[in-house]
Amino acid sequence: MPRSLAQAAPPPLLSGYLLGLSSFGWPLVIAGVLKGIYDLLLLGLFAKVRPPEEVG
């Protein structure tokens, strides 16, 4: 429980701070870039892995 509470506070505080700096929406841009990097890393890791149904 304390770990969940510790993780719950910083992201909204950081997002609010970034939105206060400019009205561009930096939290959304940063989240999108991180999601894209995560997706590309997963693709790179599993691109050559075939499901059991396809393994001959």
Give the residue among 11, 43, 44 at the shortest CA–CA distance from 30.
11
pTM as predicted: 0.61
pLDDT in tens, the chain (56 residues): 566 666 666 777 787 888 888 778 888 888 899 999 999 999 999 999 998 888 76
For residues 27 and 19, the answer to whether their CB atoms sit within 8 Å is: yes
pLDDT of res. 11: 72
Retrieve residue 26's tokens: 């930096």
Tens of pLDDT, residues 9-21: 677 778 788 888 8
Retrieve residue 3's tokens: 């770990």
Provide the residue ranges of all domains of the chain, joining segments of one domain with +.
Answer: 2-46
